[in-house]
Amino acid sequence: MSTTYDPADPYAGSRETTEGRVYTVTGGDWDVTLGADPHGEERLVVNMGPQHPSTHGVLRLVLDLEGETVTKARVVIGYLHTGIEKNTEYRNWVQGTTFVTRMDYLAPLFNEAGYCLAVEKLLGIEAPPRAQTIRVLVMELNRIASHLVALATFGMEMGALTGMTNGFRERELVLDLLEEITGLRMNHAYIRPGGLAQDLPEGAVEHIREFLEFFPKRVADFHRLLTGQPIWQRRLKDVGYLDVTGCVALGVTGPILRAAGLPWDLRKVEPYLGYQTYDFEVPTADTCDAWGRYLVRMSEVNESLRIIEQALDRLEPGPVMVEDKKIAWPAQLSLGPDGMGNSHQHVAHIMGQSMEALIHHFKLVTEGFRVPAGQVYVPVESPRGELGYHVVSDGSTRPWRVHVRDPSFVNLQATAAMSEGGMIADVIAAIASIDPVMGGVDR
């Protein structure tokens, strides 16, 4: 029962039996296998992640290396899949906000805004002007926070640890503001279908103005710390190259596309929430590399500061939720002795004064409102690119389907195009410049 070495198939010897040809894989053919591979001595397959400090989250890379050159890069995702899209189908329309805000956890307010704009489009309603302005305000604050994390993790992954500590430190300033406005640092559920959960608290406008006073200096510090630094420049320049053609073919949007020279920003080209009335620039670069993406993000922080200032200037008193009582959440939130909750007047009203108000509250809170059947696709410009909500309603109190076109998910596809043929160290720079958020990628 000797097996014969078959030159046509170096992986397994074979022999004829009464049952037909039987192959025997022995494992002893390692030398033969490697000998047949011209790069045998050099070729190395490296698994990187999913738990790795430089992969920007629970991202797994499978890299084919020849020496230090990457010949193939494959991305494995799904480690953070939590079934958020499916979950929204079992909750009412208002509850959906609390789910989508947890997808891209660095840009929660963009998720909420995109989702609520889609629901509002299905309902055929529009949030009141004050709510729209506050939405713009909190989204731009969120954009700054998100870009600061992008810069901080960029620094960490490139070995510039001071960049990381500085980035997270400045981000905390923004999160303090968001906490003051929404009650939470992340996962706010602040933007609701029809408006906002609550108005700006007292003192918030002053605190944002103070922030606008000193924050440009912090941005300048960042430039002093990193932009002029020769190591930083050499690590980033000409790394992770992707031009406009490549970006569009791979569906890449956001700072990556703008760093390739195309000023494609949905706030400008398909304005929503009145962005056409704000005066701001769309920063671009023409380098198509990680360096350009870094500079674009830095400039976008400054543009966001400009938008926030304008939003503060045009804040007029008014309602922050639609007037339609069949959609608007019946109570405003307020701070009580046991924390944030339905306002005391509202509870007193429904419990002591009006049976109809109680029924109305009960119906709206337990059952929720119905949304006319149909489907919409609403894109917003998140810090990472086009965040699209494809929402389908069958006319009931729950979404029939919510699909999220998350920019991180799409942009991450460019990893192979950006890093194949380059050095392994540049893979890290390329992925850091994509700035994927795995919560959004895996949903």
Partner 1 sequence: MSNDGGAVVPGREEAGYDDATAPAGGFRKGAFGVSGSGDTSGFGGLVRVEPGGAVALHSTDRPYGGWFDEVTDALVDAVGEGTYAAAVQRVLVDRGEITYFVAREHLLTLVRALRDDEALRFELCSSVSGVDYLDSGGPAVAPGRPRLHVVYHLTSMTYRRRIRLEVAVSAEDPHVPSVTAVYPTADWHERETYDMFGVVFDGHPALTRILMPDDWDGFPQRKDYPLGGVPVEYHDATIPPPDTRRAYR
Which residue intervals of 260-367 are DSSP H helices?
Answer: 266-269, 290-313, 344-348, 355-362
Q: Does 374 bind partner 1 (CB under 8 A)?
A: yes
Q: Does 98 bind partner 1 (CB under 8 A)?
A: no
CA-nearest of 187, 311, 301 to 255 is 301
Q: Are 130 and 320 in contact (CB under 8 A)?
A: yes
Q: How far is the CB of 58 from partner 1 (least distance, A)?
A: 12
Q: Does 403 bind partner 1 (CB under 8 A)?
A: yes
Q: Are 369 and 326 in contact (CB under 8 A)?
A: yes
Q: Is the peptide bond before 201 cis (omega within 30 degrees of 0)?
A: no
Options 29, 243, 309, 394; binder of partner 1; rule CB under 8 A: 394
Amino acid letter, 114: G
Q: Are strands 374-382 and 385-393 parallel, antiparallel or unpaired?
A: antiparallel
Q: Does 85 bind partner 1 (CB under 8 A)?
A: yes
Radius of gyration, CA atoms only, the chain? 26
Nearer to partner 1, 138 or 288 (CB): 288
Q: Does 335 bind partner 1 (CB under 8 A)?
A: no
Which region, judged by CB under 8 A, interacts with partner 1, from 37-45, 184-192, 278-286, 371-379? 371-379
Nearer to partner 1, 185 or 401 (CB): 401
Q: Does 393 bind partner 1 (CB under 8 A)?
A: yes
Beta strands in 230-384 (DSSP E): 333-336, 339-342, 374-382
Nearer to partner 1, 306 or 370 (CB): 370
CA angle 427, 263, 145 (to 5 degrees): 60
Number of residues that bind partner 1 (CB under 8 A): 54
Q: Does 375 bind partner 1 (CB under 8 A)?
A: yes
Instruction: Give the sign of the dihedral formed by CA 308, CA 309, CA 310, CA 314.
Output: positive
Phi, psi for residue 261 in degrees, rounded to 5: 110, -5
Q: Does 373 bind partner 1 (CB under 8 A)?
A: yes
Nearer to partner 1, 2 or 366 (CB): 366
Q: Does 87 bind partner 1 (CB under 8 A)?
A: yes
Options 40, 67, 83, 336; binder of partner 1; rule CB under 8 A: 83
CA angle 254, 97, 256 (to 5 degrees): 5
- Residue partners of 315: CB distance under 8 A and separation at least 6: 130, 133, 134, 137, 200, 205
Which region, judged by CB under 8 A, interacts with partner 1, from 290-298, 352-360, 375-383, 428-436? 375-383
Output the six-digit token pair for 298. 């830095």
Max distance between CA atoms of the chain, in angstroms, equals 94
Q: Does 104 bind partner 1 (CB under 8 A)?
A: no
Output the six-digit token pair for 183. 């009650």
Query: 34-54 burial, b for 16+ CB within 10 Å, e for fewer?
Result: eeeeeeeeeeeeeebbbeeeb
Q: Does 390 bind partner 1 (CB under 8 A)?
A: yes
Nearer to partner 1, 121 or 293 (CB): 121
Options 33, 276, 354, 396; binder of partner 1; rule CB under 8 A: 396
Q: Does 91 bind partner 1 (CB under 8 A)?
A: yes
Output the six-digit token pair for 71. 């010949």
Q: Does 323 bind partner 1 (CB under 8 A)?
A: no
DSSP state of 275: G
Q: How far is the CB of 307 from partner 1 (least distance, A)?
A: 21
Restricting to residues 232-261, name those near partner 1 by CB under 8 A: 248-253
Q: Does 409 bind partner 1 (CB under 8 A)?
A: yes
Q: How far is the CB of 22 from partner 1 (least distance, A)?
A: 27
Q: In sequence order, what DSSP letters do the residues of 339-363 get, joined into one string? A: EEEE-HHHHHIIIII-HHHHHHHHI
Phi, psi for residue 390 in degrees, rounded to 5: -100, 105
CA separation for the pair 317, 61 (Å, rounded): 51
Nearer to partner 1, 40 or 372 (CB): 372
Q: How far is the CB of 274 from partner 1 (least distance, A)?
A: 17
Q: How far is the CB of 356 from partner 1 (least distance, A)?
A: 17
Q: How far is the CB of 430 from partner 1 (least distance, A)?
A: 17
Phi, psi for residue 369 in degrees, rounded to 5: -90, 160
Which region, judged by CB under 8 A, interacts with partner 1, from 42-50, 132-140, 406-414, 428-436? 406-414
Binding site for partner 1 (CB under 8 A): 77-78, 81, 83, 85-87, 89-91, 121-122, 124, 248-253, 262, 264, 269-270, 366-368, 370, 372-377, 379, 386, 388, 390, 392-398, 400-401, 403, 405, 409-410, 412-413, 442-443
